[in-house]
Amino acid sequence: MANMKTPHDLNCLTISELEKLAAERMDKQTRDYYNEGADSGSTLLENISAYQKYRIRPRVLRDISSIDTSVSIFGHKNSIPLGVAPTAMQCLAHDDGELATARACKNMDIVMGLSSFSTTSLEDVKSELASHPGALQLYLFEDRPKSQKLIQRAKKAGYKAVMLTVDTPVLGRRNLEIRNQFTLPKHLKVANFARDEDDNEMVDVQEKDTPSTTTDQTNHHKPPQGPITFHTHAPNPTLCWDRDISWLKSQCGPEMQVWVKGIATAEDALIACHHDVDGIIVSNHGGRQLNGALATIDALPEVVAAVRSHTGRKVPVHVDGGIRHGTDVFKALALGADFVWVGRPILWG
């Protein structure tokens, strides 16, 4: 087979082999944090296995000697219909963390999504990306000024879009994370919240700002205060379509697109279209939030059908979760996705 390229490592030919090698090298706390799903992990596993239910009907004699796999995203011509999904705290896996991911995305000409809870600041990552496009994954905190500052920083740095995570009203139960009492090692930090840039001065993130979201006192809900961590601030039970999507669009302006990440039903897809979002990502947070939710590839067809039935402008539909093979990408596209995102395999690499 003269056209077969020699791989870099004959012991690592597949994503599953990459996962195994990564598991051998990572410490237990990091491995468990990256790889765990919520509760029993059935949704995490079904994200992967569900792809095997779908069979390909190949056409032949179609002359594929010259093909173009590129696709437009965020105004950029991406080399393939695949991007790097935002995943938190990448310096747990490698000292270069998000910077290494940015370099790889730039070299491969694919778009990068950056987690708000990155271990490298959004400015440093965008500097590494240079003119290459990036999107910032965003949680809308109850302490709204904190999110507002992050949006303004992303806009100033040149990010092309924000991906609002909408599947985290409460935090999924991750048993290994609880058992391990997961915390960042002392030499790492959640870089985007390590300082408050008001007046260009460093401010201790433990200052207690007054939350800007009105809460119902009858349910005894108290907004989080103190240091910003994923466990304390990412969950937000107060989010709603009418108030928060319009506010986010007003903050992003024409400079940054607004995408919603975490749509899994036709009903929510239509609501997203009515609120004029720029894109939808079918996602269940990698099975880390609600165990028992549909595998994303199973949720995809109804979301696509709903979006296509919408009479307004065309809203692109992307999908993430469980993609481990090139044929998985093909199946997602065949079922109506415009683009796919890959998360955990990047961490393993």
Q: Is 292 annotated as a binding residue?
A: no
Q: Is 265 annotated as a binding residue?
A: no
Q: Is 336 annotated as a binding residue?
A: no
Q: Is 87 annotated as a binding residue?
A: yes
Residue that has been written with the tokens 């065309």 in this structure: 314
Q: Is 34 annotated as a binding residue?
A: no
Q: Is 285 annotated as a binding residue?
A: yes
Assess contact for 81 and 338: CB atoms under 8 A. yes
Residue that has been written with the tokens 């790492």 in this structure: 188
Q: Is 321 annotated as a binding residue?
A: yes
Using the CB atoms, write b or e for 165-191: b if 16+ within 10 Å.
Answer: bbbbeeebebebbeebebebeeeebbb
Q: Which SS3 state, helix, strand or coil, does residue 77 take?
A: strand
- Which strand (E) or helix (H) includes residue 156? helix 144-157
Residue that has been written with the tokens 């012991």 in this structure: 11
The partner residues of 77 in beta bridges, in order of sequence, read: 72
CA–CA separation, 207 and 226 (whole Å): 6
Q: Is 63 annotated as a binding residue?
A: no
Q: Is 283 annotated as a binding residue?
A: yes
Q: Which two tokens stand for residue 47?
A: 């994200």
- Which strand (E) or helix (H) includes residue 72? strand 71-73
Q: Which SS3 state, helix, strand or coil, does residue 134 take?
A: strand
285 tagged catalytic: yes
Q: Is 90 annotated as a binding residue?
A: no
Q: Is 308 annotated as a binding residue?
A: no
CA–CA separation, 22 and 31 (whole Å): 8
Q: Of 275, 285, 318, 325, which is the active-site residue?
A: 285
Q: Is 134 annotated as a binding residue?
A: no
Q: Is 54 annotated as a binding residue?
A: no
Q: Which two tokens stand for residue 215?
A: 């809460």
Feature table: binding site for glyoxylate: 33, 139, 174, 285, 288
Feature table: binding site: 33, 86-88, 115, 137, 139, 165, 174, 261, 283, 285, 288, 320-324, 343-344
Cite the active site residues. Answer: 285
Feature table: binding site for FMN: 86-88, 115, 137, 165, 261, 283, 320-324, 343-344
